[in-house]
């Protein structure tokens, strides 16, 4: 009986080992297989490239309009034509010339140059922009709602005047641009970026609502100083940080004093400003808006027109 009992016990133990998956030389285990390694996360999509824009300025669209229109229409790419609207000239006087220029270029209107800001009150500015928008209508794609507004010559209430123009243009469904004045060294109290922080603080509707924020820079008013790449990075990086929804670039350049008679001197500056690039600032779009388009690029037989057209060939 004892031998049979012992044999029975061994048989039962062997059966139990086989049921648990054990065997000679293979210990039993209850661990689950290790999971497969997780797939690496997909890379973030690259930001969409910003298309460069090129612009020119005419300080009087009603003078030799046909020459100006032909010069614009003959360029190798469509540009933005910035049109200065003088105080004292009624909107109706600009209607025909702007209608012609709008056939050849996208029009950005400047209803109040910085030199004329002291002449109008906030109420006067509001009335003026509303009249111009009503009469010029969709011939104007964008409105420059402030020009060199941090200059020390613009008089009282520059931001209130900008707000009046900005609100009117936005209500009409138009794009808006603001141009600031850069100088180095800066006039105390008017240094561009600190001036913005003081007068257009974070949270202001201009900070989020503007479509373009441009810079006016005149080398001859800054002792001939040429902007370095580090300076360009700081200028436009600072603007992009403060106006995150806006495209940034140059809104005006040229000569504050006499236009040089030297073709090569003019050509050198034109090439340089239209050739500036700021890779560190994705929202940089170029711009330019050479102030003397009417004087030195129209008709298109003028040498400066060829310099501009050549520069545009480098635009992607």
Average pLDDT over residues 98-105: 97
Residue 35 pLDDT? 55
**Position of tokens 């600031």?**
180
For residue 2, is pLDDT > 60?
A: no
Predicted local distance difference test score (pLDDT) of residue 23: 42
Domain-embedded: residue 130:
yes
Average pLDDT for 32-53: 60
Contacts of 20 (CB under 8 A, 6+ apart): 28
CATH number at residue 68: 3.20.20.80
pLDDT of residue 39: 56
Per-residue pLDDT tens over the stretch 203-228: 999 999 999 999 999 999 999 999 99
Rounded Cα–Cα distance for residues 90 and 240 (Å)? 36
Is 20 a domain residue? no
Percent of the chain with pLDDT over 70: 84
Is 33 within a domain?
no
Q: Taking 80 as the threshold, does the pLDDT of residue 26 lie above it?
A: no
pLDDT surpasses 70 at 270:
yes
Which of 315, 307, 298 has its CA nearest to residue 57? Answer: 298
Q: What is the pLDDT of residue 13?
A: 38
Question: Residue 262 falls within a domain, yes or no?
Answer: yes
Residue 258 domain flag: yes
Average pLDDT, the chain: 89
Tell me the pLDDT band of 249, cut-offs 50, 70 and 90.
very high
User: What digits encode the pLDDT tens for the residues 185-206?
Assistant: 999 999 999 999 999 999 999 9
pLDDT at residue 14, as a whole number: 39
The answer as to whether 137 is a domain residue is yes
CA distance 239 to 195: 12
Question: Which tens digits make up the pLDDT trace of 297-316?
Answer: 999 999 999 999 999 999 98
Mean pLDDT, rounded, for 124-152? 98
Domain total of the chain: 1
**Domain of residue 248, residue span:** 53-312
What is the pTM (predicted TM-score) of this model? 0.85
* pLDDT of the residue at 19: 42
Give pLDDT, residue 48.
Answer: 54
Residue 44 lies in a domain: no
What pLDDT digit, counting tens, does each position of 84-97 carry?
Answer: 999 999 999 999 99
Mean pLDDT on 145-163: 98
Residue 274 lies in a domain: yes
For residue 7, what pLDDT is reported? 43
What pLDDT does residue 49 have?
A: 61
Residue range 36-65: mean pLDDT, rounded: 76
Mean pLDDT computed over 9-17: 38
* Mean pLDDT of the 121-140 span: 97
């Amino acid at each position: 009986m004892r031998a049979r009992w012992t044999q029975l016990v061994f048989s039962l133990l062997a059966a139990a080992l086989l049921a648990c998956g054990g065997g000679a030389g293979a210990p039993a285990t209850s661990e689950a297989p290790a999971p497969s390694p997780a797939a690496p996360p997909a890379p973030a999509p690259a930001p969409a490239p910003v298309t460069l824009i090129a612009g020119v300025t005419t300080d009087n669209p009603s003078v030799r309009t046909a020459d100006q229109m032909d010069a614009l229409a003959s360029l190798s790419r469509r540009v933005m034509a910035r049109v200065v609207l003088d105080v004292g000239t009624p909107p109706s006087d600009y209607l025909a010339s702007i209608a012609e220029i709008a056939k050849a270029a996208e029009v950005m209107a400047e209803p109040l140059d910085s030199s004329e800001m002291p002449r109008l009150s906030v109420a006067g500015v509001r009335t003026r922009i509303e009249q111009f928008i009503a009469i010029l209508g969709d011939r104007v794609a964008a409105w420059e709602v402030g020009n060199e507004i941090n200059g020390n010559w613009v008089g009282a209430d520059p931001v209130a005047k900008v707000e009046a123009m900005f609100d009117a243009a936005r209500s009409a469904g138009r794009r808006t641009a603001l141009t600031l004045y850069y100088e180095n060294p800066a006039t105390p109290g008017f240094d561009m970026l600190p001036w913005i922080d003081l007068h257009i603080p974070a949270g202001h509707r201009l900070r989020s609502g503007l479509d373009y924020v441009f810079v006016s820079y005149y080398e001859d008013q800054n002792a001939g100083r040429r902007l370095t790449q580090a300076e360009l990075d700081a200028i436009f990086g600072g603007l992009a940080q403060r106006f995150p929804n806006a495209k940034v670039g140059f809104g005006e350049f040229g000569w504050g004093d006499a236009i040089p008679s030297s073709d090569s001197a003019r050509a050198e500056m034109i090439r340089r400003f239209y050739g500036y690039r700021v890779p560190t600032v994705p929202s940089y779009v170029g711009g330019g808006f050479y102030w003397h388009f009417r004087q030195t690029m129209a008709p298109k037989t003028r040498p400066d027109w060829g310099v501009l057209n050549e520069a545009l060939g480098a635009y992607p």
